Structure 1
Amino acid sequence: MEVKKSLIAVMIGLSLVLGSGITFAGMQIAEVRSSESVDSMDEEAVAVNGELEDGLKELEYIEKFSKAFDIILNSYYEEVEGNDLLEGAISGMLDSLGDPYSVYMDQETAQEFMESLDSSFEGIGAEVSMSDGRVTIMVPFRDSPAERAGLRTNDQILKVDGESVEGLALYDAVLKIRGEKGTTVTLTIERPGVSEPFDVDIIRDTIPIETVYSDIIEENGQTIGVIEITSFSQNTAVRFGEELSNLESQGIDGLIIDVRDNPGGLLQVVESIGSMVIPGGEPVLQIEDRAGEKGRRLSSLDETKPYPIVGLINEGSASASEILAAALNEAGNYELVGQTTFGKGTVQQTLDVGDGSEIKLTLFKWLTSAGNFINEEGVAPTIEVEQPEFFYVSPINTDEDLQLDMNNSHIATAQVILKGLGYDPQRSDGYFSKEMEEAVRQFQADMGIEVTGVIDSETADQLQQEVINAIQSREHDNQFKKAVEILTQ
C-alpha cells in the first residue's frame, strides 16, 4: 500500500509524542491474547488503547486538513497566501463551535485586546459581543462616548462608517470601531423596538478603566453605603476592599452593590470580592469542566456582615456580575433589585498559538452558588423594577425639523422624552399638536436655546443630553430608589 510522505512524517511525529504509550499498549494486547478471558483486560490498557485510537483519529483529521490546504494553496485560480488560509481555518474551527465568546485573535487583534486590559485605551467605551452573527452592545461604559451618544444594551451595530460589518469576526469589527482620541466614528444601529436603523456619530476618547465608585447617602435617619462596580479588572478587588473598608469605618447601616451594565471580567477578581461580602463557608460560585466535574469556590469571610445588602442588576449585567449577584441572593439571602441579567454562564481563557496570535476559548461552565447554569437565561431579581420609559428610547432623528401638524415615529420618541423630563405634550401617538409645541417651547426656554416650538437638530441634541443626565442621576432611577427603600424600611 502506498503511503504519502506527509503521512509518514505525521506518523513519525506521533511516535515521538506517544511512543511509550504505543509500546505499552502492544504489551497489554499480547497479554490479553494469552489470557483465557478478554474480560480480564486491565482498565489501564483499555484507557491507553482509547488514547491510541483518538491519536489515530486525529491523524486522519490532520491528513484531511493537509490535503485541503495543499489543494487550495496550489490549485486555486488565483495565488493565495498560506498564512491567510491557515488563519481562516482556525477562525472557521472556532466559528463551528457556535460560541460567540470563543474567537481567534491575530497578532494585531491580540495586541489590541491586551491593551484594553490596561488602565486606559482609546475608543468609544462599550463592551460588545456577537449575537446571532451581529456585533451587539453588551453595555456602554459609565460616562463614556458610547453612553453619551445614547447607545444601549442589545443595540446591534450594522455598519461602521457606512461599511457593513456583517460576516466580520468580532475582534475585526472592534478594530474598526476603535480609533484615536478625537476622531469620529459613525455607527449604524438597529435597536429592538425601533422600526428603522439609525446612525449615531461618536467622538472617540481615552477610556479610563476606573472600576469602583462609592458614596454614602442619608435616608430616613440611616446611613447607606453605595458601591458601583463597572467591570472586574485586575485591580478591582483591591479597590472594592478599600472602598468597603472606608464605608464601614463611617458606620453604614446598609450597603447597595450596583453591578448594572457591568459586562464582567476576571474570574479570580469576582471570587475575591465575593469573599468580602458572602458569608464564610458559602460558595461564591461553582466551576464545571467538560467531564462534568464540579468544584466549589467558597467564601473565606470571617464574619457575616452586620448590615443588610441589596444588589442592583439589569440586562447589561453579565458574566462576573451575574456570579456576584447570584451569590448575594443564593448564599447571602440578600435581595436583588432590577431586571433579569444578560445570561453568560461560561468562562474563557486566552491561549497562545504562536507568533503573537491567540485563541480566546471557553473552557468551563460556571454555576451559581446553588448550582444553577444561567447561560442564556440570566439571574432574575427578587424584586423586579423597571426604569422610566424614556431611559430606553433611541436618539431623535432630525433629517428634517419636527413641527406642528407633522405625524411620525420620531415625534412619538420626542413625546416620550418630553414627558419623562417633565414637559408633558399631552399625547404619545406621534402627532405634533399645539400642546406639544408648547411643551417644546418650555423645554427650549429652560435650556437657554432659541424658543421656536420646533424640534431642530439643536433641540434634539439637547433632549438627548437631558436623557443622559437623567439616567446618570438618581432622581429618576426607580431601581436605586427601591433599593434604598428596602434598606431603610
Structure 2
Amino acid sequence: MKTRVYVLLFCITLLSVRTVSFGQDKPLEKPNAEVKEKAKETKEDIYEEFEEFIKVIKELQDKYVDEINVNTILTNAYRGMLSGLDPYSQYFSSEELEDLKIETEGEFEGLGIEVIIREGLLTVITPIIDSPAFKAGILVGDRIIKIDGEFTENMSVRDAIKKLRGKLGTTITLTVVHEGDTVPFDITMERATIHVKSIRGARIVDDDYKIGYLAVTNFQENTTKDMDVAVQDLLKKGMKSLVLDLRFNPGGLLNIAVDMADKFLERGLIVSTKGRDTTQNYTYRARKQGTYPKFPLVVLVNNGSASASEIVAGAIKDHKRGLLLGIKTFGKGSVQSLIPVWDGKTALKLTTARYYTPSGVCIHEKGIEPHIKVPLSFAETKALHEHLSMIDRDTKTNDVREGESKEKEAVPQGSSVRKEKSSYIDVQLERAIDILKGIEVYAKGSNTP
C-alpha cells in the first residue's frame, strides 16, 4: 500500500511541474500512425522508468542504514535531476526560495559572491562590488577548492551557497586558486550585510569635455529608475558624453536589462529569446519614447560582465550606438525561468531558453568581444577591485569638496579637509575618456567651415 501511495504522489508531483512549467500541451495538427506509435513507445518507456524509480525509493526506505523520509529522497532526486542539466538550473526548497526573493530585493547577508559549477569546480562568476569577497581579493574566475577546510568537489551550488552564508559577523576561510594559477591559498573574511546598490559612482570625470561616468553593478527592480535619476543629474551638470561601466556586473533581471538598453536605442531589436518550447520565444524591441539624447557612449566590460550585462552590451554593439572597451565578457547567454511547484512553496529555476543579440548571435559560453581591447595584468585587476570599492566614497568626498570651494573664504588657510587624490589610474576608464575626447574634437573639426 505504501508503494502505491508513493507512486501516486510522485506522478502527481511530475504532472504539476509539467502543467506549471509549460502552461499548455499543443497537439500535432495531423498526427499520423507513425507519430502515434512513437508516442506510445515513449509513454511505455517513461512508465518503466517510473517503476524503476519507485523501486529505488522503496529500497532506500527499507534498507538504508538510517531511517530516511520520502520527502528527503524526492528533494535530493529533484536536485540531482537539475544539477545534471547545466550550472544554472536548480531546485529551490521553500526556505531557499525565500532567500532568493530577499536577494533580488538587493539586501542579504553573506560574502557577496556569484558562483557556478564549471568543469566540476566551484567557480566565481564575479564578486559583488564592495562586498566582503570583493574587498578580500576574490577575483572573477577564482576556483574555490575548500570552504572552511571542506573540499568543494561534488558539492552543489546550493550547498556551497549555504556554507558561504552564515551569521552576520562570523568568519569564513576559502581556499582558492586564481584563474591561470595552480597554487591554492587561503582567504579569510567576515560575513556582512550585502547592500546591492546597482548604480554607483555617477559623476563628471572630465570637466573640460563634460564626460560623465556611472557604474551599473546589478540589474534589480529599481535599476533603470535609479540610472534615470543619475543620467538626468549628469545632463543637468552639462554632460556631453558618457562612460557606462558594466565591469563585474553578473546580471540580474532580463526585463530590466531590456529597459536599460531601450534608454540608449530609439528603435530596433534589443534581444530575442528562443527555447525548445515556443512559449519561450520572445522578441524585445526599443521604443523612441524615453530614449536619452544621442550622446557619445563607451561601455566598459570585462570577464565579470555576464547575462543581463551582455544583453545591454550586445544591443549597443550591434546597433553601433556606442563602443565596447575592455576584455571579452563572461558568456552567459541562457535564460532561467522560476517555475513554482507544490502550490508555490518550492520552485524550479530552469534554463528554458537562450538569448540572441540583435545580429542573431548566441553568445553562450562565447562572450562578447569589445571593439577596443584593454587587458589588465593580475596586479592591475586587484588594484581595480580596491579602487572600485572606494568609488562611492570618493564621489561623496568630491561633493563635499564642491561645497567647500563655494565657502572657501570661510575656511582658515591650512585647515582644508581635502585628501590627496588616489594614485591609482583606471587604465580602461582613462582610455574610454581619451576616446570620448577624440570624438568631441573630431566633431568640432568636422563642423568647422
| Shorter-chain TM-score range | 0.7 to 0.9
Residue from 296, 306, 312 that aligns with 1:308: 296
Q: CA deviation at 1:123?
A: 1.0
Instruction: Evaluate the alpha carbon distance shift between residue 83 and residue 332 of structure 1 in structure 2; reply closer, same or farther with a 3 A threshold.
Output: same
Distance change in 2, residues 1:347/1:9 (3 Å): closer
Query: Which of 218, 221, 225 is the equivalent residue of 2:208?
Result: 221
The Cα offsets for residues 272-330 of structure 1, whole Å up to 9 and x where unpaired, read as 111111232x1111111115785321111346733111110000000000110011110
Classify 1:244/1:42 alpha carbon distance in 2 versus 1 (closer, same or farther; 3 Å): closer
Q: Alpha-carbon deviation of 1:120?
A: 1.2
The alignment status of 1:480 with 2:400, answered yes or no, reads no
> Equivalent residue for 2:24?
none
- One-letter identity of the residue aligned with 2:324: L
Deviation at 1:57, TM superposition (A): 4.3
* Aligned-CA RMSD value: 3.3
Give the Cα–Cα distance (whole angstroms) in 1 for the partners of residues 387 and 29 of structure 2: 74
Other-structure match for 1:174: 161
Instruction: Give the letter aligned to residue 370 of structure 1.
Output: S
Give the equivalent residue in structure 2 for 1:85: 73
**Counterpart position of 1:289:** 275
Q: Which has the higher contact order (CA 8 A, sep 6+)?
A: 2
> 1:116 is paired with a residue of what secondary structure?
helix
Closer, same or farther: CA 116–476 of 1 in aligned 2, 3 Å: same
Q: Map 1:66-465 onto structure 2 (within 5 A).
A: 66-76=54-64, 78-97=66-85, 99-217=86-204, 219=206, 221-280=208-267, 282-290=268-276, 294-302=281-289, 305-354=293-342, 356-392=345-381
In the alignment, the residues of structure 2 paired with residue 250 and residue 54 of structure 1 have an alpha-carbon distance, to the nearest angstrom, of 66
Mapped partners of 1:382, 1:229: distance in 2: 20
Which residue, 40, 49, 53 being the options, matches 1:61? 49
CA contact (8 A) 2:204 2:234 kept: no
- Please give the secondary structure, in 1, of the residue aligned with 2:116: strand
Displacement of 1:199 in angstroms is: 0.5
Cα drift, residue 150 of structure 1:
0.7
Q: Which moved more, 1:50-59 or 1:303-312?
A: 50-59
Q: Is the 8 A contact 1:145 1:205 kept in 2?
A: yes
Q: 1:334 to 1:264 in 2, by over 3 A?
A: same
Indicate the SS of the match to 1:371.
coil
Residue 158 of structure 1 deviates from its aligned partner by 1.5
State the secondary structure of the residue aligned to 2:210. Answer: strand
Q: Measure the CA separation in 2 of the matches of 1:141 and 1:7.
A: 43
Q: 1:334-377: per-residue Cα shift (whole Å, max 9, x none)?
A: 21000000000100022222273322110110011111011111
Q: TM-score, normalised by structure 1?
A: 0.72
Bigger-Rg structure (1/2): 1
Residue segments in structure 1 that go unaligned for 5+ positions in a row: 18-40, 394-416, 421-463
Contact 2:275 2:354 survives alignment (8 Å) = yes
Which amino acid in the other structure matches residue 179 of structure 1? Answer: G
Percent identity over the alignment is 31
**In structure 1, what residue type is equivalent to 2:70?**
G
Shift of 1:200: 0.5
In 2, Cα distance between equivalents of 1:468 and 1:155: 19
Q: CA shift at 1:216, angstroms?
A: 2.9
**Unaligned regions of 5+ residues in structure 2, if any?**
17-27, 395-421, 439-449
